[in-house]
Amino acid sequence: MKSSIKTIILILVMAGTAIGAMAQFSKPRRTYLEYIITTDHADRNYTTGEQARVNIEAYKGGVPVDGVTVYYSVGDEMMKPAATDSVTLRNGRAAIPVGTRTQPGFRTCNLHFTVYDKTVKDMVKVAYSPDRIKSYTVMPDDFDRFWQKTLKTAAKTDIAPEITPLPRYSTDSVEVSLVKLNVGPGGRHMYGYLTKPRDGRRHPVLFCPPGAGASKISPTTYYSERGFIYLNINIHDGCNPELDDAAYAGQKAKTEGYNRRGISSRETFYYRDVYAGCSRCIDFLCSLPEWDGSNVGVTGGSQGGALSIVTAALNPKVTFCSPFYPALCDLMGFLHHRAGGWPKYFEKQREEAGAEETLAYYDVVNFARRLKCPVFFSFGYNDETCSPTSTFAAYNEITAPKTLSVTPTSGHWRFTETNDESVEWMKKNVIR
């Protein structure tokens, strides 16, 4: 009996020692250095002529940081800084003057400070009368005729879909297939992943064009699990995502510099076949027997956001549109010493002769002016790729019913919650 008691006591002591050791080296649940950046207007919106201020608070282990220097620069968005200076944290706090603008647009504050060899870098953008930002892009007189002709030519090509089921990506509730579409003259193909609910019912279709570049796309069941027939595609000819890495790299190499290819003429610009091809993807989706016959959506981010707006403007079958931080907006911005949209034509270099005239036919602003379906539009203020100045320039031109969801702290990305908000909005715009 005594032996048993001694054993139990020993076990308890050992357990206590182990727990103590674990506690001694337990991982922290928060970072030692924490900071908060706010502005004196919670939504980061000001009127032209109004002075803006950025407030910073910093803590180490929950104790306010004192005596640390915060270095900063301020200036108009994507332009050279107008001023550089520093402030000192007192009781963990400091204020940075951002200044103002006489014209609608954005200013940027970049800041950094160091505590215990840890350097913090961050950026804040504030808006001045963003609802009054106007595009510098002019609508060509024959804009509609040009695109009607382009779409008519593209429609002469048999889309000839090839659909290959991919069981390894499929689930009990969603079927995934590889799709090959003949979308233009000369045998131009687009590849994508088609996902469909396995419930035997008819559903809305949702088209998702890609972001910039030519990286492999991946299938997702997210939207089909929420009741949509979903197609995400790669816009570049021959970029089959099911190729092995070596073969795909060879196809990807052919796309180098595509966003400036043929820019000297509206007839030869690379995006001409891309825009028309996206419209043909809608035609394909509407040919599926599982389509409900009424609802057609488009969504995407960055270049995909731009192509969502373009597709909705070009194809009257589209009934709702949900772009995120769209590229290719207000492409003349840098020519007027204001932030323009990706791919930032005219920012650091001259473009080919004729580029200015060509881009007027491809600027998303001009397609935004043609939208007729409801739009859910979302972006963040801290975007350094697709400037909020350029995205506001497009949004402000939309006369169709529109919903704006701005998340000021986000950059060239979106929160999961914002994506969910978009899906809920799309569901509400589905005609039953």
CA distance 381 to 372: 26
CA dihedral 197, 198, 201, 203 (to 10 degrees): 10
- Catalytic choice (224, 279, 412, 422): 412
Q: Rounded to whole angstroms, what are the CA distances from 141 to 59, 64, 95, 138, 147?
A: 58, 60, 49, 9, 12
Q: For the chain, state the CA radius of gyration.
A: 26
Q: Is 302 a catalytic residue?
A: yes
Q: Is 412 a catalytic residue?
A: yes
Residues 311, 321, 355, 233: is their CA dihedral positive or negative?
A: negative
- Catalytic choice (302, 308, 390, 422): 302
How many Cβ atoms sit within 10 Å of the Cβ of residue 80? Answer: 7
Q: Is 238 left (phi over 0), alpha (psi -120 to 50) or beta?
A: left
- Catalytic choice (383, 387, 410, 422): 383
User: Please, which residues bridge with residue 190 across strands?
Assistant: 181
- For residues 365 and 393, is the Cβ–Cβ distance under 8 A? yes
Q: Is 236 a catalytic residue?
A: no
Angle between helices 271-285 and 303-314 (to 10 degrees): 70
Which residues are part of the catalytic machinery? Answer: 302, 383, 412
